Amino acid sequence: MRLISPGAEPRAQLRYHVEPLGQTAIVDVWIAPPVFEDAMDQTPGEMAHRMFMLRIEPRRMTADGQVTYEYLLRSADWIEPGSPSSNEKADLAKLKGLSGTCVASSRGLVSNATTTTMQQDTNEFEPMLRRVMSQLVTPLPEEAVGIGAQWQHSDVALFGDGVDELTYTLVSRTGDRGTIDVTQRTSVRDRTVHSLGSTDIAFTKGTATGTGDITFSLLRIPQDLSLSSTSRATIVIKGVGSRRAVQRTRIQIRGGAKYALQSPPSP
C-alpha cells in the first residue's frame, strides 16, 4: 500500500473496530457479453445479473483488531435478462452452500481467504466469490489521513486472473462513517468463462478500468461498494479464433441485516 497524499487537517488514523455481530451481505454482479471491436454494427447485449446472498460472522477477534470471519453462501440466483443457459444454471446451483473463511486486520488488509464446497469441480463464480471476500472491507493506510487523502493498494483482480490497482480518495468522514471514491486499473490475464451459452471463451492480455464509490463504517464488515468497469482484451473463442473485444462489468455489495451470534467470538 502507498499513501499518495495525507489530505487536509484534521487527520486521524482510520482503524476498524467491528461489532461482534453477524451480518448478511448481498452481492450483485452484472456481466455483459463481449462486444467485438471489428464488428461495428454489433448491438451491445444486456448485462446478465446474478445475485448472491452471504452470511458473514466474526469467529475470532484479537486485541489488535484482527478478525477471522466465516461466511456461507445462502443463495445464488439469476435475476435478468431472460433465462440462463444450462451451463450457467448448473454453475449457480453448485455454489449454494459454499463456505469459507478470511482474516481481516484492523486496517482492512484481508488474508487467507478460502472457500469450501461439496462439489468436486469448480466454475468461474467460485474464485470470483473468494475474491469478493477481499472486497468486503476497504484497505486503510497506516498513516493519519484527512479529507482528500489518497492511497493506492494492489489486490487480486475480481474478474479474471490479474492484478487490481485501486486508488482510494477519502471524500467525507463523520466519526466512524464516511465515503470514499475509488478508481481501478486492472491487468487482465488468461481466464476461461462461459459468456456465450456453452461456448468456451478464453480472455488473454488486456486491461480494465473502472470507477466506483464506497460507503464505509469502521464498526462493520461488509462495506457498501459499487464499482463499474470496462475491460479491453484479446479473446480466443473455441472454433472461431482470436479477436479483440470490450466487456462491461459491474459489482455492487450491500450490507444487510445484523443479528446476534449464538456464541461470542473467541479472543
pLDDT in tens, 207-234: 788 999 999 999 988 889 999 988 777 7
User: Beta partners for 78?
Assistant: 50
Parallel, antiparallel or unpaired: strands 67-80 and 48-61: antiparallel
Check whether 240 has a pLDDT greater than 70: no
Residue 194 contacts residue 88 (beta carbons within 8 Å): yes
Residue 25 contacts residue 255 (beta carbons within 8 Å): yes
Phi-psi region of 240 (alpha: psi -120 to 50; beta: other; left: phi over 0): alpha
Q: How far apart are CA 250 and CA 230, in angstroms?
A: 9
Residue 170 contacts residue 20 (beta carbons within 8 Å): no
Nearest Cα neighbor of 208 from 226, 181, 229 is: 229
Residue 105: which pLDDT band, with cuts at 50, 70 and 90? very high
Check whether 133 has a pLDDT greater than 60: yes
User: Beta partners for 73?
Assistant: 54
* Domain definitions of the chain by residue range: 2-257
In the chain, which ranges are continuous DSSP H helix?
86-95, 125-135
Q: Which residues contact 165 (CB under 8 A, 6 or more apart)?
A: 152, 153, 154, 184, 185, 186
Percent of the chain predicted with pLDDT > 70: 76
pLDDT of residue 91: 72
Can you name the CATH fold of 2-257?
Lipovitellin-phosvitin complex; beta-sheet shell regions (2.30.230)
pLDDT of residue 262: 84
Q: How far apart are CA 105 and CA 93, in angstroms?
A: 32
Check whether 15 has a pLDDT greater than 90: yes
Higher pLDDT, 70 or 97: 70
What average pLDDT does the segment 91-108 reach? 84
pLDDT of residue 196: 43
Q: Torsion over CA of 168, 253, 132 and 148, rounded to 10 degrees?
A: 10
Check whether 150 has a pLDDT greater than 90: yes
End-to-end CA distance of the chain: 28
Q: In the numeric block, which cell numbers belong to residue 22? A: 453477524
pLDDT in tens, 155-206: 766 655 667 889 999 999 999 999 999 998 887 665 545 444 444 555 566 7
Residue 232 contacts residue 207 (beta carbons within 8 Å): yes
Higher pLDDT, 138 or 34: 138
User: Mean pLDDT over all residues of the chain?
Assistant: 81
Check whether 26 has a pLDDT greater than 70: yes
Q: How far apart are CA 173 and CA 171, in angstroms?
A: 7
pLDDT in tens, 59-69: 999 988 899 99
